[in-house]
């Protein structure tokens, strides 16, 4: 299937939580005492607010509305003239499209909105906080599709994380990290152990000891030096590395030539057992490192070339 690029536009509808609607939802949940305390607090914080007297209509405030009692309260709900125009109703409810929260750069909303006082500590986060919380919303406001792609761990990172848990000695951990850098994208160790020992100033026994630990990491069969060792590690993990299977691994050249009589003599098994062994061998993964889709193989290959020089 061929890969191609295309540009799509989608139009969706969503309910916008305007500041007036959020304030109304908050105030409706308050009791009479809490509402009175909230009004008093807003009057103290905002010197531009005034408490309406009993004979005057209450002034519409931004963050606090002082509701009078008696006939004046009835006038708020049932006025002399009811609004029937859609635009007037939207302006009263604050549902017009221009009624949005401030952007991240601190710019205020359009002139249709009045200034707000300091937000309450219990009030919900504003639009800028919600938009900044998403990983896909950069500071410049441009759409970044790469933010939705999850980070893929490379084979080297996966092995390094296991090395930290398996080895606590700094020297052995340094040797293990050097060996991990020599593992190619297929999962095979590309370096020579004698050259590694000379480079690090360590004994070959110590290098082989750390290598045996790395060969027990996930994926099974990683850090092998050849195909026979890779398959042997996987068979040992399955507890199937018996002498007959070991003889089959030692004679993979005969298997490539389809010399079944020679394999039967070397392994000491009959035709049925040899067929089962070959079928089990085909179930193994000859390149365990490719399962990670390693994007850091090129970097490690450069480090390998630098280490060999």
On the CB side of 198, CA atoms within 13 Å amount to 7
Quick check: 75 and 57 in contact, CB under 8 A?
yes
Which two tokens mark 26? 């908050």
Name the residue with tokens 């007036």. 20
Query: What is the distance between the alpha carbons of residues 300 and 189, in angstroms, rounded to a whole number?
Result: 12
- 284 CB contacts (<8 Å, ≥6 apart)? 221, 230, 231, 234, 235
Phi first, then psi, for residue 140 (nearest 5°) are: -85, -5
SS3 188: strand
Return the pLDDT at 36: 87
Going by C-alpha positions, the residue among 208, 209, 238, 233 that lies closest to residue 220 is 233
pLDDT > 70? residue 31:
yes
∠ CA 62-64-66, nearest 5°, is 120
189 touches 180 (CB < 8 A)? no
Per residue in 35-45, pLDDT (tens digit) is 888 888 888 88
CB 8 within 8 A of CB 143: no
pTM above 0.75, yes or no: no
Candidates 215, 238, 210, 242; CA nearest to 226 is: 215
Tell me if 223 sits within 8 A of 183, measured CB to CB: yes
Q: What confidence score (pLDDT) does residue 51 get? A: 79
- Summarised one tens digit per residue, pLDDT across range 88-142 is 766 666 666 666 655 544 444 444 444 444 445 454 544 444 444 444 455 555 6
Mean pLDDT highest for which of 50-64, 140-154, 268-282?
268-282
Q: Which two three-digit tokens encode residue 207?
A: 């290098």
How large is the angle between the packed helices 193-200 and 204-214, nearest 10 degrees? 110
DSSP string, 105-151: T-PPPPTTSPP--PPPTTSPP-HHHHHHHSTT--TT----GGGGSPP
Q: Does residue 149 or residue 280 have the better pLDDT?
A: 280
Strand partners, 183: 189
pLDDT digits (tens, 9 = 90+) for 243-259: 999 999 999 999 999 99
SS3 224: strand
């Amino acid at each position: 299937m061929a890969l191609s690029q295309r540009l799509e536009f989608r139009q969706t509808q969503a309910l916008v939580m305007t500041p007036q609607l959020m304030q109304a939802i908050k105030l409706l949940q308050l009791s009479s005492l809490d509402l009175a305390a909230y009004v008093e607090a807003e009057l103290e914080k905002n010197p531009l607010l005034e408490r309406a007297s009993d004979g005057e209509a209450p002034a519409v405030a931004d963050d606090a509305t002082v509701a009078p009692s008696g006939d004046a309260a009835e006038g708020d709900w049932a006025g002399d003239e009811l609004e029937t125009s859609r635009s007037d109703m939207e302006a009263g409810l604050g549902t017009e499209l221009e009624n949005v929260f401030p952007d991240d750069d601190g710019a205020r909303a359009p002139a249709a909105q009045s200034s707000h006082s300091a937000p309450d500590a219990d009030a919900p986060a504003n639009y800028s906080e919600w938009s900044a919380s998403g990983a896909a919303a950069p500071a410049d406001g441009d759409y970044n599709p790469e933010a939705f792609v999850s980070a893929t761990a490379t084979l080297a990172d996966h092995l390094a994380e296991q090395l930290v848990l398996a080895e606590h000695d700094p020297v052995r951990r340094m040797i293990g990290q050097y060996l991990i850098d020599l593992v190619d994208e297929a999962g095979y160790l590309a370096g020579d152990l004698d050259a590694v020992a000379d480079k690090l100033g360590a004994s070959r026994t110590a290098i082989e000891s750390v290598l045996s630990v790395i060969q027990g990491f996930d994926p099974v069969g990683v850090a092998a030096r050849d195909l026979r060792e890779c398959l042997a590690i996987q068979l040992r993990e399955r507890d199937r590395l018996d002498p007959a299977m070991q003889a089959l691994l030692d004679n993979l050249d005969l298997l490539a030539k389809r010399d079944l009589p020679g394999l039967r003599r070397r392994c000491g098994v009959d035709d049925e057992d040899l067929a089962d062994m070959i079928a089990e061998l085909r179930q193994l993964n000859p390149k365990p490192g490719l399962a990670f889709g390693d994007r850091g193989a090129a970097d490690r290959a450069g480090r390998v070339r630098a280490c060999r020089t």
